[in-house]
Structure 1
Amino acid sequence: MNIQPDQVSVRQFYEAMVATITPRPIAWVSTIDAEGTCNLAPYSFFNGVGANPPTLMFCPANKGDGTAKDTLANIRANGEFVVNVVTEAFFDAMKLSASDVAADEDEFTLTGTQKAPSDFVKPPRVRDVVAAMECELLTSMQLGVGPGGANLVVGKIVSIYVADSALDESGSLNADQIRPIGRMGGPRYTKTNDQIE
């Protein structure tokens, strides 16, 4: 069987993509608008791009009416965002933050998630996350139009916050202590506790 994008609906092709591109890391992106309202939303089309310069990318799709999501609008307006790492402790809040709410509603408040100030950018990070990356916008590109139209955001990482709990005795990052949640196809997620070498 071959699934071709011009032979099925956008939704059907999306479902084929997310069932085969797995597990995907989750960028839990916090931004802030000109009035100071914070936005917090998850994106699983996300990954690192390179280390020199240190960059990452994620892809916010357009809303159902074809307009940009609040995350993208805020980043385009002020050029800053934070990518929070989602672990099991924040799983329910992360899912709730994906709700479609008005631009003036703060998803931190909606989810009961506490804010912590960032060191180099205006948007806050999620308090008590094990890791978060403060970013400045390098470029954004509109890849598609209309409902579900893809947009690419590439950010330069200016700082990585790591909780003390994720450091070993020498003060080095211990990746085994981060244990992020990954996104599978449909409504399914996976833990990263079980690892192989």
Structure 2
Amino acid sequence: MARVLIVTGKAAEDIVRKAVAYSKTRHCINIAVTPIPIAAFLTAEYIANYLRNLGIKAGDYDYILLPGLSRGSGKIVEEAIGIKAVKGTINAYDLIDLLKIDDLSILSSDEPADEVLHNVLENSVRSILIDIEKSLDNSNSILVGGVKVPINPPPIRIAAEVAEAHTLSIDRLVKEVYKTY
């Protein structure tokens, strides 16, 4: 697994330490706590200088994990220190989930990890949904307004949402549903 240096501010230090412990990560983690209390106030230039003053150099770590809301690109830190620097999560508690990921190379020098992971998860779920939809045929789905809906979900497709549907007659309900198409 990767050797990771997490950079944070004083105010988030306890949260970061707890998140690392709770994550049960397989990565080798060290934490650099800057004298700046709020991690979001850190800039890439400040972090680069701070780490340089600590004696951090190429080969010490595989990744430097910057606060998700730190200003500037991790590339500035990477160029100064010689270690790939990527943005972590916006909220320190979310490090618990982030550190469970084996391949940290998917993280960005510029975008907070939350955004990168959201895109990865969304693409994964979309791919699963497409595969399921491709497997639908007349024997395992019904056609509703041109959309194949599985007889035995998942996935569940909301074909139409009609407020107060329980108060409508069947004929009126059908008319309301077709209004949406």
Specify the TM-score bucket, using the shorter chain as the normaliser. Answer: under 0.3
Higher strand share: 1
Higher helix share: 2
TM-score, length of structure 2 as denominator length? 0.23
Q: Which has the higher contact order (CA 8 A, sep 6+)?
A: 1
Report which of the two structures shows the higher radius of gyration computed on alpha carbons.
2
